[in-house]
Amino acid sequence: MDKTTKNLFNNTELAFTNKSNFELRKAFFLFSVLDYPILTKIGNAFLLLVLKLRLPFKIIIKNTIFNHFCGGETINDCKTTFESLKKFNISAMPEYSVEAESSIEGFENYKNDSIDLINFLGNVKLPFIAIKCTGLMDINLLEKISSGDLSYSGDEYQVFKSRMIELCDAGLKNNVQILIDAEETWIQDAIDNVAVELMKKYNTKSSMISLTHQCYRTGTLDKIKRNMKIAKENGYFYGVKLVRGAYMEKERERAQKMEYPSPIQPNKELTDKEFNDSLKYTIKNIDFSSLWVGSHNENSCKYLMELMKENKIKSDDNRIWFSQLFGMSDNISFTLSDIGYNVVKLIPYGPIEKTIPYLIRRANENSSVKGQSNRQFTLIKNEINRRKQLN
């Protein structure tokens, strides 16, 4: 690791520059809970009970975990957050964090709501939207297509593709890039194929469409290499969104239950290697692609910075973006933005009672990633102490 980046993300004054003392104290309490898995489980049980019994704790939830991890209940509620981030040259990607309904009406609603959001993003000059294919097509049909049991000429697939084309047309009109989310391995082939098909149509001048790759999966780099080769041969750009992944436990349980080899890396070290190798390969091929990195891992962010420097790529090159979730890893986001890199925060929003499943996932992810919540807790504590010493 470059010596100049060793303590890069330790500047708490910069990391929490947009947080008041009161907001810092609330964050201190929140991450002190998340640092203890048993307390997280109790908190999750409480949130589920609130959801099930419709208990009158909305104001408490809103003023604690909701306000920390979500931008608001509506897209308009998020505008204050967008403006606050913009002051520090950080972009935003709002995401409606409510589970989509699995019905024809639900798929149409998700498509129309996404188009409305794309139009909104175009008006406020925000560059990205993430799309979940399971919001646009039945997951069982995606599984059948992925396994080869259902013809790609089927009516359902054509309707799904036409919905995606409507979204991409809206993105093209509004200069908003479409990031297609990765999902479970057993439906991923269908998603990959439609993503590549859309890239051939829309990525002739730049990477308007990007596909998400999960590095906890085995073979991720090989897939990027195959698809990059096809893109080069056919004269279009291959958009890469790179994450570590979100379905690890579910994937392992299914593989064990159905007695097939687990598609998940056997340990974190190999996941990190797959991630960093994929970073290196994509940067080497950046003239034929783009790279959108969703990571709270400080070392991975430093490594990408080093790769950009080695390959003489400017920090503000519009083909490369760093991203973190709202309410997490502000020490990474604000530092990178301050030294000139492109940074975007993913801003979840939606009705409080409907975003509880999302909030539970956030809590679980924080408590399951070794050292993540502890790191946040320590940084917040350091900044509170620093401010006390100034008074």
**Residue 60, in any domain of the structure:** no
Helix (H, G, I), strand (E, B) or coil at 213: strand
Handedness of CA 98, 102, 103, 109 (dihedral sign): positive
* pLDDT at site 40: 46
pLDDT at 55 over 60: no
Handedness of CA 89, 95, 96, 98 (dihedral sign): negative
**Residue 346, in any domain of the structure:** yes
pLDDT band at 38; cut points 50, 70, 90: very low
169 or 70, higher pLDDT = 169
**Residue 374, in any domain of the structure:** no
> How far apart, in Å, are the Cα atoms of 196 and each of 201, 215, 337?
9, 19, 31
Helix (H, G, I), strand (E, B) or coil at 56: coil
* pLDDT at site 192: 95
pLDDT at 2 over 60: no
Determine the Cα–Cα distance for residues 147 and 186; give it in Å rounded to an integer. 8
CA angle centred on 213, ends 210 and 217, rounded to 5°: 170
pLDDT band at 48; cut points 50, 70, 90: low
DSSP states along 308-319: HHHTT--TT-TT
Average pLDDT over residues 257-286: 94
**Residue 391, in any domain of the structure:** no
**Residue 172, in any domain of the structure:** yes
**Residue 86, in any domain of the structure:** yes
pLDDT band at 216; cut points 50, 70, 90: very high
**Residue 148, in any domain of the structure:** yes
pLDDT band at 50; cut points 50, 70, 90: low
* pLDDT at site 370: 47
Domain count, the chain: 1
**Residue 160, in any domain of the structure:** yes
157: its two tokens? 């697939």
* Residues in the chain, total: 391
**Torsion (CA) 378, 384, 389, 391 in degrees, nearest 10:** 180
Predicted TM-score (pTM) of this structure = 0.89
Q: What is the CATH number of the domain that holds 175?
A: 3.20.20.220
231: its two tokens? 């893109």
pLDDT tens track for 134-150: 999 999 899 988 988 76
pLDDT tens track for 277-336: 999 999 999 999 999 999 999 999 999 999 999 999 999 999 999 999 998 899 999 999
pLDDT at 42 over 50: no
CA-nearest of 22, 40, 20 to 31 is: 40
Domain around 333: 72-354
pLDDT tens track for 190-199: 999 999 999 9
153 or 168, higher pLDDT = 168
* pLDDT at site 102: 82
pLDDT band at 98; cut points 50, 70, 90: confident
* pLDDT at site 30: 76
Contact in structure between 210 and 241 (CB atoms under 8 Å): yes
Average pLDDT over residues 65-88: 92
pLDDT band at 179; cut points 50, 70, 90: very high
